[in-house]
Structure 1
Amino acid sequence: MKIEQISDLPIVYMRRTGAYGEENQQLMAAFKHWMTYNNTSQDNLLTDSAIILGIIHDDPALVSPEACRYDTAMVLSAQQKIDDACVQKGILQGGNYAVFTIDHTAEAMNRAWQVVFTELTEYDYQLDEARPILERYTKSMLEKHVCEICLPVQGKA
């Protein structure tokens, strides 16, 4: 685990509402397809420098499964201007995040979700429930078969 200060990030995203699970993976696949083929800039946005996010807005222990929100997003660079009805634009609020690098497999992801919150409290950090949890991917990370889970933190308990 490492602590990272993430700035406010301009993003484009697609959202689904419903229970977390396989449908989130399907949304990510659709988003990557849009990045590659259907964006209005006519450029392949799935580049080496692209940062892709899975944004988990709701705690399924507190929000009914059918109301849970999940976004797949891409961080926009200053020069990227995207105007496409397939995606929404927004700003992801920055702040301090506890970052865990994990293997990008279903088994490792499931294991990580079972331990990251415990590890957070072991280091005396508190989850900031006002900000979403992030799954972060880059092309180089995926080539190494890793990804990151980023938990928003308020600071030491």
Structure 2
Amino acid sequence: MSSPPTLPEEPASGLFRAEYARRMNAVLDHIDRHLDTPLDLAQLADVAHFSRFHFHRVFAAWMGETLGDYARRRRLETAALRLACRPGKTILDVALATGFGSGEAFARAFKLKFGCTPTAWRADVAAKNAAMLAAMRLRRQDSNPDQAMRNTDQESLLNFQHHDDSHSHHRESLMKVTILDLPPATVACQRHIGPYGPAISTFWRDTVAPWMQSHGLDDAICYGIGHDDPGITPPDKCRYDACVAVPDGFQSGGRASITTLPGGRYAVAQFKGPSSAIAETWTRMTREWLPASGLQWDERPCFERFSAATAIDPATGEFSCDICIPVRPL
């Protein structure tokens, strides 16, 4: 059996930066898990294994915003998502679950951030969703159905195209949703912070795929996790994790963080089509199917799951994946 290809050794500066990224991402994940509690600067510094004295400065330099500003933004963005996705929760419930001491303090901060009250935001969700779907369908109807989607070079993850809106699809995709209990998965994750879209394709192709090849993971199951809603979070702050299933005891070499995707009940829809159509499928699933299902989104991450070896159909250029949303009863 041939050994996996060996890539040129990465310069020390690249390894150091990867280590910084790994530590800072651990802090961001910790903050997200504890939005309902006051942040302790010393504890966060310990999570990152950085000096407590200098951590605030390191965080601000790395993220482009202070720790306080970041935490406030994440609390409000998470609250906005919960207002939209959890109609059964009161505004006070959402406020307390995202770290605000009272409904009044939450309402003031929310209006300052989004320009409207939490009540108005929630009331406007249905109209916004309908307008979004209508605009997507109109774009597809007006597009050129003969626009080339084939690319005979698209035979592997190396040419993975993800959420690229440069093409449109002229067929209405059929969506069948199945409720499944998925097992936990041990994964190696690398994070991209910035706008979704073509940059994610580049990240998989130029960063993740070579790393996979060098570790003999060409045929692994992959998971793409978009943590933020670009309609709420500024595009340059959106977080995306490219994750690859790895065996127990796997050593990542420092570039990737090893974590576990939680198992449990998921609503799963199989997608196959041009990558430009996947955003609409996500929208239809969360705005049309989910409210009528008797289920709601829970705290676990949603993701796209696909095989690195077979995600792209070499004959058509179409992308295949499972869209997985974690659910629980209303």
Instruction: Give yes or no for TM over 0.5.
Output: yes
Specify the SS of the correspondent of 2:324: strand
Match of 1:66 in 2: 236
Which amino acid in 1 is paired with 2:217?
L
**Within 1, Cα distance between the matches of 2:320 and 2:180?**
18
Match of 1:124 in 2: 294
Which amino acid in 2 is paired with 1:24?
I
Displacement after TM superposition at 1:31 (Å): 1.0
Is 1:27–2:169 an aligned residue pair? Answer: no
Is 1:137–2:306 an aligned residue pair? Answer: yes
Match of 2:280 in 1: 111
**Within 2, Cα distance between the matches of 1:151 and 1:27?**
23
Displacement after TM superposition at 1:126 (Å): 0.7
Match of 2:23 in 1: none
CA change 1:107–1:60 in 2 (3 A) is closer
Displacement after TM superposition at 1:104 (Å): 4.1
Q: In the TM superposition, what whole-angstrom CA distance separates every residue of 1:36-56 from its partner, at most 9, and x where no partner exists? A: 1x33xxxx2112xx2101012
Are the counterparts in 1 of residues 188 and 252 from structure 2 also a CA contact under 8 Å?
Answer: no
The structure with more strand, counted as a fraction of residues? 1
Q: TM-score, normalised by structure 1?
A: 0.81
**Within 2, Cα distance between the matches of 1:109 and 1:27?**
18
Q: TM-score, normalised by structure 2?
A: 0.41
1:14 aligned residue (190, 198, 206): 190
Which amino acid in 2 is paired with 1:13?
C
**Within 1, Cα distance between the matches of 2:241 and 2:276?**
22
**Within 1, Cα distance between the matches of 2:281 and 2:256?**
29
Residues paired across the two proteins, number:
147
Structure showing greater Rg: 2
**Within 1, Cα distance between the matches of 2:301 and 2:223?**
11
The CA RMSD over aligned residues, in Å, is 2.0
Unaligned runs of 5+ in 2: 1-176
Match of 1:148 in 2: 322
The structure with more helix, counted as a fraction of residues? 2
Q: Percent identity?
A: 28
Which amino acid in 2 is paired with 1:5?
D
2:262 aligned residue (93, 96, 106): 93
Which amino acid in 2 is paired with 1:28?
W
